[in-house]
Structure 1
Amino acid sequence: MLWTLIVRGFENGASGAVISVPAFRRRFGVDMGSGVYFISTSWQSAINGAPNAAGIVGASIAGWLSDRFGYRPVILSAAVINIASIGIEFGSTSLGMFLAGKMVNLLAIGALLNLCTAYVADVSPLAIRASVIGFCNLSQCIGPFIAAIMINFTSKWDSDMAWQSVIAAQWGFAGVALIGQFFMPEAPSHLVRKGRMEAAQASLERLYSDQADAKAHLYRIQLTLEEAELSNSGSYLDCFRGTNLRRTLVGIMVFLSEPMSGLGFVGSYGALVYQMLDISDEKSFQIAIGAQVLSMSGATIAFLLSDWWGRRPMYIFGCCSLCVLMMCMGIAGSLTSTAAVTAAVAFYTMFNFFYNVGVGSTVYALAGELPTTVLRSKSLAISISTSNAFNTMWSFVAPLMFNEDAGNLKAKIGFVFGGIMFIFAVLAWFYVPETRRRTYEELDELFMNKVPARQFRTYKTIAEQRAAEAFAIREKVKATMQA
């Protein structure tokens, strides 16, 4: 599932970067004179914005279909569509055809992002749940890193293969993902909901080395589903009823911090922005590679820290860091000296590290843990769709803000995202709960009792008390037997 998510990162990195490849601009752009070609602001917006809308549709449909047919057939279907759509992008003869290929691709990728994340949250053991879910973000950093390396070399070519080779490379990731999905067991929670207990047990036994652990996990799924289904029918409307409303709104909020932090702007227009800051084409692609190294470094650190430090402090740290960083970028962008431009490039590049340390990985852990088991795929679909909707908005708006033929803000756009992240830091303090080392049963109890977000870490649940009592009895019996 994590490998499958590399496809999403590679598509985002590749499609955003090819706009800055000279051969692509020469093939589809407008001659601005002196042999300089430019993809118009409107087409930049469309290419980076419209496919996000398709991602919303894909995530929503996948949440509905997975309840009826299971995760496995829906993911396999999405993987096939993903492979076919790459062919449309590769063979594009116009920007309209390239856009159509991207939209079909993002339709499939939206489904994959939703279901792969939900699957990982479903099967992960409690002790490493945040780390494994956080790896969903690291997987999406690997794709852009490889795309940046490829484009650094191919951008020097004069033929269309300068950009087509990067698009074609997606077939390698997508093909391996498709093959791997044939060997994945069905999500055990889906099988339990359908009453197929033996199949669910067999599915879990493939994931555990000890059958006792598999049985314990199956029991937890049964218990959680029984409690959740007492008040939920499993529809999208149920995500906004009762205590689920709070869970859904927090999930939407944390996922919304992705586009509102400037992620779409940084991810889609990286090399292009460097070029606008008077960095040479060759140097801009090299800096883009360094930016992706920072992304992977940040995601790796988050992967190691998330189960130790906790989701809430990491998320708040990420929001505060991005607020300061983007404000500094805006200040540097307000000056015209060479040193100021260098500082703006540095702040813009460092975004990749601080985003992935504090926000990127934690968002997936929180959004995967907060919903009830019966509503997880639907709640994730809502959160991802909201994020994609705002990504779509920024994809259309950002070029109008920073491009020289429009708002010409350039690095001063940092003021916009810095101010927004200050708001998210305040919201995080009041509304983002700590889900670290909490079972889904405990989280259900915490939300049912309307425990304030700041008290989630210290609140003693009934499930904890029962576990402590059971442990004390076991130790007492053990001591008696030894005596």
Structure 2
Amino acid sequence: MTSPVAKDKASSTHVEEPSLEMRGGKENVDTGEVESVHEAQPVKSMNIIKSVRTYKHASIICMLAAVGALSDGYQVQMSGSIIALPGFVRTFGVLQPSGKYVINPQYISLWVSLKNVAAMFGAGIGSYPADKLGRRWMILVVQIIMIGSCILEQLAVHWTHWLGARLLDGFSIGLAQCCINVYISEMAPTQCRGALMSLMQLFYTIGGFLSAVSLNVVSQQDPRNWRHAVLSQFAFCGVALIAWAFLPESARWHCIGGREAECKKILQMVNGKVKGYDVDVEYRKMLVEVEHANAAASLQGGGSYLDVFRGTNRRRLIISFLPWHWQVAIGVPIISTYSSYFYDMAGLANPFNGTVATNVVNIVMLIFAVPLIERLGRRTLLLWCGPISIVSLLIIGGILRATGPAVGPTLIAFACMWAVGYNLSAGPMGYIYVAETATTRLRAKTTGIAIIGIQAMATVYVYIPPIMLNSPAFGISNTVFFWAGTGTFVYILICFLVPETKGRTFAELDELFDRGVPACEFAKTKTAVQGDFERHASEARDLA
């Protein structure tokens, strides 16, 4: 015998009817209210240009939030490539009997790997203040810490000083990954959520490109003035602070906290001019999602960090982790993080030319990726374009076993081909999946834990390249083959575990995960919201 609860569940978005009693005495959502949400129009399918025009205010806000990634991208690229500048090497290196200055490879590994440890710490604690203080204020804290890192870099005269700057940098990146991703996912319209979230990777890449240009200019003028490249970072932090001033707080964060008036005020400000937009209906939809998350947490014992590892949340955590982890597993440490160092060891006359070339390709391909994310889907791009990077690594590994004048240009050509595959797959998808896969109540916590895992693996990945590249047992060629192997392994996991989330509201994603739909069937599975809409459309046609 089917209970009324089960019957209603079949025709609802994802609301567990036994969960209409909420934790902590929070207001309940009555049946009529829930039904009104379901009878409202579901998300309309529209192309990226139309959706951005329709929700132009929300799109601009998401773009302003993503500007914060400029300074992140500049810092990461600069810190990994500046070690090829003679002036930097002279400052932090040791004079050898040959008369050359050389930086201890372990120092280089510590600078980058401990930065990832600091990012783990930032991600670990970042979700708590992001939940308590708000997403907006955490974005400000990120830029303040980033400025502190820039100041320390300007004053550094010993390798430990540079290490301190890297720790501050890593800590700010961990905090940023907890709040900026979540903020954009909560403010972006569903129709263009993936495209707007990919702006994080785009601005991150633009920051990296500008860093490569800055280092190239310094190398062609007076490489001893390496601090000029560091000084440029203050400009990016300033731009991010100006953008921050125009950001409202996340409406969904207010909804989670029960602040209805503040939530509706922001919804009205951001989307009030959209034709047919109803603030009250949108708030009720949002409230149903929050109440469902509260109820699920109540049934599973609360909304703590441990709940991230329970039930369907554990699966969502793994999915949040894999695409972003693939970024480092598929070769970012050698083709991006240590790019100039890698090209220098490969024998390029000007290693910064290779870094600039790959960064140009990064930007161009990310611009192409933005509309494709919503047109083709996240999973499709991961599965189709990721192998391009893996094959490119195999070819690069083979090229580096040869000698001759053609090796350098060919190496750069296939590094650019690697960038094509990367920026159409792992590059933008890492940011998207980590922020949109988690359930509403646990989004900040799931994001934080996923980033801890990502940074833990990245700590290992970025520690070993200088050691492997300088090791007679590995060398340049075998080091590249190593990343081809790790990239292939994670690709296989993605094939089986990572679903398609294109065009799904958070309510629909909750339903699909609650039903245990396999990853390969997400895209073709009809949700209750879609079923209700088709039924209402059919009734409307019959009446007409």
Does the CA-based 8 Å contact 1:8-1:113 persist in structure 2? no
Match of 1:187 in 2: 250
Please tell me whether the aligned partners of residues 389 and 419 of structure 2 are also in contact (alpha carbons under 8 angstroms): no
1:26 aligns with 2:90: yes
Aligned to 1:221: 286
Long gaps (5+) in structure 2: 1-64
Q: Which residue of 2 aligns with 1:241?
A: 310
1:120-150 deviations in Å (ceiling 9; x for gaps): 1111111111101111111110101001111
Counterpart-to-counterpart distance in 1, 2:434 and 2:541: 37
Q: Are 1:309 and 2:343 an aligned pair?
A: no
**Match of 1:87?**
151
What pairs up with 1:333-348 in 2 under 5 angstroms? Answer: 333-340=400-407, 342-348=409-415
**Structure 1, gaps ≥5 residues long:** none
TM-score (structure 1 length as normaliser): 0.93
Q: Which amino acid aligns with 1:106?
A: G
Separation in 2, partners of 1:317, 1:428 = 12
The one-letter code of the counterpart of 1:371 is A
CA offsets 1:173-193 (integer angstroms, 9 cap, x no match): 112212332331111121111
- Alignment partners' CA distance in 2, 1:191 and 1:236: 21
Letter of the 2:329 counterpart:
M
Indicate how the Cα distance of structure 1 residues 343 and 443 shifts in structure 2: closer, same or farther if over 3 A, else same. Answer: same
Structure-2 residue corresponding to 1:454: 520
Counterpart of 1:27, as a letter, is T
Residue of structure 1 in register with 2:226 after alignment? 163
Match of 2:502 in 1: 436
Deviations 1:189-231 (A, max 9, x none): 2111111111011112222242625444433321211111111
Q: Indicate the RMSD between aligned Cα atoms, in angstroms.
A: 1.9
Aligned with residue 201 of structure 1, among 264, 280, 292: 264
Runs of at least 4 residues of structure 1 off by over 4 A?
213-216, 405-408, 474-477
1:99 is aligned to 163
Q: CA deviation at 1:367?
A: 2.0
1:13, 1:190 → 2: CA distance? 33
- Which residue number in structure 2 is paired with residue 39 of structure 1? 103
TM alignment of 1:74-473, pairs within 5 A: 74-158=138-222, 160=224, 162-210=225-273, 212-232=277-297, 233-280=302-349, 283-340=350-407, 342-403=409-470, 407-473=473-539
In the alignment, residue 483 of structure 2 is paired with which amino acid?
A: F
Offset from partner CA, 1:82-139 (integer Å, 9 cap, x none): 2122101111111110110121122122111221011111111111111011111111
| Aligned-residue offset at 1:406 | 5.6
Separation of aligned partners in 2, 1:47 and 1:153: 24
Range with greater deviation from structure 2 (126-135 or 464-473)? 464-473
Structure 1 pair 221/94, CA: closer, same or farther in 2 (3 Å)? same
1:201 match: secondary structure? helix
AA aligned opposite 1:374: R
Which residue type is aligned with residue 328 of structure 2?
P
Change (3 A) 1:34 1:215: farther
**3-state SS of the aligned residue for 1:231?**
helix
Residue by residue over 1:434-467, the C-alpha shift from the partner in whole angstroms, topping out at 9 and shown as x without a partner, is: 1111111111111111111111111111111112
- Are the aligned partners of 2:400 and 2:477 in contact in 1 as well (CA < 8 Å)? yes
Residue number in structure 2 paired with 1:57: 121
Q: TM-score, normalised by structure 2?
A: 0.83
Taking the aligned partners of 1:202 and 1:58, their CA distance within structure 2 comes to 31
CA deviation vs aligned residue, 1:341-394 (integer Å, no higher than 9, x gap) = 543343234322221111111222222221111111211112222221111112
Q: Is the 8 A contact 2:388 2:421 kept in 1?
A: yes
Is the 8 Å Cα contact of residues 88 and 101 (structure 1) preserved in structure 2? Answer: yes
Identity, in percent, stands at 27
- Pair 207,252 (structure 1): closer, same or farther in 2 beyond 3 Å: same
Q: CA deviation at 1:301?
A: 1.4
TM-aligned CA deviation for residue 165 of structure 1: 1.5
